[in-house]
């Protein structure tokens, strides 16, 4: 499935997930039914929260107790690159409004340019962002939302 410019057409969450899991490397060895069942099971967990900006969906889990202000999740994208970076920016602003102080997301290498663009964008505000790889070469974004507005410019 091709990326869809959200300025022309907005996909629903199911369309985003279906398209994204067809493309994501981490799921390639699994049958499509298994891929869909995995994401559906995660989405139905009590701690799951999903939020969509453009044709990007963020499926995250909020901590409990003392960790209620922390989240970890996955990013599913079917938007074009320019919109994808803007969608990430909007999600960080959403996290700020929700009082989230720490956010970690797993993502695929294809998403790296958009996340790096946002990382550059937040360099001069109090939001901190790091990008790394784990031992399986999966990428992770570590975001510590600040209180200052995230500048436009993507």
Q: Has residue 154 been placed in a domain? A: no
Q: Quote the number of domains for the chain.
A: 1
What CATH number is attached to the domain comprising 86? 3.40.630
d(CA 70, CA 108): 22
Look at residue 107 in the predicted model and tell me its pLDDT. Answer: 85
Q: Has residue 152 been placed in a domain? A: no
Q: Has residue 4 been placed in a domain? A: no
Give the domain extent around 42: 13-144
Q: Has residue 29 been placed in a domain? A: yes
16-73 confidence digits (pLDDT tens) = 988 888 776 556 677 777 777 777 777 778 878 999 999 999 999 999 999 999 999 9
Q: Has residue 48 been placed in a domain? A: yes
d(CA 151, CA 28): 36
pTM value? 0.89
Q: In which residue are the tokens 């990428």 written?
A: 139
């Amino acid at each position: 499935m091709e990326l869809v410019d959200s300025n022309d057409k907005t996909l629903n969450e199911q369309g985003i997930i279906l398209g994204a899991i067809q493309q994501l490397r981490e799921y390639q060895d699994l049958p499509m039914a298994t891929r869909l069942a995995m994401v559906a099971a995660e989405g139905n967990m009590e701690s799951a929260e999903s939020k969509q900006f453009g044709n990007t969906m963020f499926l995250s889990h909020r901590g409990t107790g003392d960790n209620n202000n922390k989240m970890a999740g996955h990013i599913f994208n079917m938007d074009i690159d320019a919109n994808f970076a803007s969608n990430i920016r909007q999600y960080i602003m959403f996290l700020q409004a929700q009082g989230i102080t720490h956010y970690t997301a797993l993502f695929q290498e294809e998403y790296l340019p958009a996340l790096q663009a946002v990382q550059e964008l937040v360099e001069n505000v109090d939001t901190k962002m790091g990008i790394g790889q784990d031992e399986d070469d999966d990428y992770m974004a570590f975001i510590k939302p600040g209180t200052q507005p995230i500048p436009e410019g993507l």
